[in-house]
Structures are given as C-alpha cells and as structure tokens.
Amino acid sequence: MDKPNSAMKQIKFSLYVCAMSLISFLAHPAEHCGASWPLWEKFAQNHIALDGRVIDYDADDVSTSEGQSYALFFSLVAGDKARFDLILKWINDNLAEGDLRGHLPAWKWGLHADGTWRVLDANRASDADLWIAYSLYQAASIWKESSYHDTASAMLQNISQQEVVALPQLGRMLLPAPYGFVLGSKVWRLNPSYLPVQLLRYFSTVDKLEAWDEIALNTLRMIASASNRGVVPDWVLFDDAKGFQFDLERGRYSGYDSIRVYLWWAMLSQNDPLFEQLRPYVTGAAQFVPGRSSLPELIDVSDGKESGQAPIGFAAALAPYRLVVYGHRQKAPASLAEGAGYYNYVLSLFGYGWMEKRFLFNRDGSLQVNPRKCSK
C-alpha cells in the first residue's frame, strides 16, 4: 500500500456518493439490512460502485486487487452475498481477463492516458490474491456454494506456481508479485504485511503443495530478523549471502504497509504457536502504547525516530493490538469523518470488526463470522 496523496478528492464526489447511497439502498434492501454493520455500509456507499468496483478516490479513482479483496472479505463477514457476488464478478471481468480460475487478477485498474478505463498494470499483488482465495474458500463453507471452492483452489494453485519461490538457505517464501521483486540473482524484496499467518495456516489444510506452514515459519524468521524494538519495516530484502536486510531503496521505515503486521498478529488465534513466537518482535514499540495523543506516520526501524502524524486508520489497525497487549479497548465509530479515504476505512473495518467480534480466526485459520443479520 503506497502512501496516499495528501490532497483529498472526496469532496468533488459528494453528490455522486449521495446518489449511489440511495440507489444502493433501493437495489439491495433485504441483503444490506440497514444498520447491521454501519461502518461497512458507509464504506460500501462511499467506495463501492453498483457494479462491484471498489474506488480509491485519493489515488486518481483507481481500483486495485487489494481493494477488491478486502471488500470481498468484509461483504462475507457482513453476510452481504449480493455485494460479494458483484465484487467477485468485477474482479473476474476486469482484472482476470474474464477467467479468475485461469488468471490471477491484475493489481491496478483505472483511467488510461488514452481515455479508456482498463488495466493499468498487469502485474499481480500476492496479498490480494491470498485474501481473494481465502474469502472464496470461506464463502464456499458458509454459503455452501462449490463454485467458490473451485475458483479458490484454482487461484491457490496459480499462486503457488507464480508467486511462491524457494529461497536459498531459507526455503519457500511468497513474493509480493510474480515480477519485479527479484533483484539480480541473489536478492529478493519481501513485504511482511503480505503474509497474514492465519491465511497461511488455512491454506495448509486445503493445498497439497504443503508449502504454507513453511512459509508461515519463514514469515516468523523474516519478522524476527528485520524488526527492532517491536517495530517492523514496510519492506525487507533477503540476500543469499547476508540473510534479511533493511531495504534501503524503499526505506527502513514502518508505516502504511507494516501497520497491518500488528493487526494480523493481534487477530491471530492465540492457540497458534506462532502467536507467542512472534510476540517479542511485534510488541514493545513505545509509539503504540495507549494514551498517546497521536500516532506517528513513519517510524525509523533502525533508531526508533518517528515523523509525521498517522491517519486515523492507524489507530483502528492498532485497536486489536492494544487490546491483546495492554488490555485497552477502543470504541468503534459508527462512521469515519468525511474524506477519511479508502485505506482508513479498510483498516477500521478490520480492526473494529474484530473488536466487535463480527469475525475471528480459528486455530486452523478458518473463519468464524457473526454477521448480525436482520431478523426476517
């Protein structure tokens, strides 16, 4: 997740959002059930078009496989099958060449310089691929539709073939994308936030490749080697000769990517052995102690120096972390401030959704949901 532009573009879309909200309510009154999950409904009204496209207004109105994957997960948690199917169809039709079983989705779609709306970058984003496959597996179980399972299985096979590599002296690991993350012949660029252990655990139960527990263990090794005083960097290099290193090109900072590392860990089942094994490397950051007036936007992993002021989504992402580590409970807002932006909503839906026990992850990584559907 790149740092968003500071200029907020939401205002010019306010009339559009209002119209979309009304049309969305009229189109799906039974499925949405009004205020069953107010934060989800607000996100859907502000950022999901009627055809299932998730729009990031702060980034030139683009849509990404990340955004689609998260919306797919949240619609499952909300019991919102109508939107789930719309979001899935949009992924299939626009990011996967009409065949999600045959093609992993392109990561970026938007307005091209030639005036057409289409794929802007055909490379994949492995974290989005994991979340899409995971949500499909869970949807197959919850809604009893085998087609979801079949698509998820095909996706996982493609992920294994295209995005999993064997690194020397380490073993199998997930690259952030099929292309662009192998630097020369002996260096690989990795992203700790792309590897939620609970998803890896679940894939180990359904995939005969048997690489996912190995990848989970290597995720622990990466975070243990790269973190400092409980602060995890956004990006890490693995060098064949030197092991894990700071990524000097992309910076040695903890920020918009790695904020998710603390979130994934806090939501991990405490019965998973990696929960306690990861604890020393993701906790202890002085910047994350409850009671601070604000959170830093960036933390230098090498010396702990901080800079900038984090957006409101960071506090939401740290809500499960602060509960698990400090016993501190943050109250979830019904909605975010005008112009809060796509990423702030996403982090809030994860953090506060888990805090409200709308979902949790079991020891094997499978999902439990409590969508709080309206009574019929």
Task: Give the catalytic positions in this structure.
Answer: 66, 127
- Is the distance from CB of 187 to CB of 193 less than 8 angstroms? no
Closest alpha carbon to 164 in 204, 209, 123, 128: 209
- Is the distance from CB of 146 to CB of 154 less than 8 angstroms? no
Which tokens is 252 given? 């040695």
- Is the distance from CB of 214 to CB of 274 less than 8 angstroms? no
Residue whose structure tokens are 């109508």: 82
**Range 199-204, long-range pairs (CB < 8 A, 24+ positions):** 199/130, 199/131, 199/134, 199/365, 200/365, 201/272, 201/363, 201/364, 201/365, 202/134, 202/137, 202/364, 202/365, 202/366, 203/130, 203/133, 203/134, 203/156, 203/365, 204/365
Which tokens is 329 given? 């409970």
The answer for 31, left when phi > 0, alpha when psi is -120 to 50, beta otherwise, is alpha
Contacts of 214 (CB under 8 A, 6+ apart): 171, 172
Residue 138 CB neighbour total at 10 angstroms: 23
Closest alpha carbon to 87 in 35, 153, 38, 28: 28
Contacts of 93 (CB under 8 A, 6+ apart): none
Which tokens is 321 given? 């972390």
Q: How far is CA 271 from the centre of its chain?
A: 22
In terms of DSSP bridges, do strands 359-361 and 367-369 run parallel, antiparallel, or are they unpaired? antiparallel
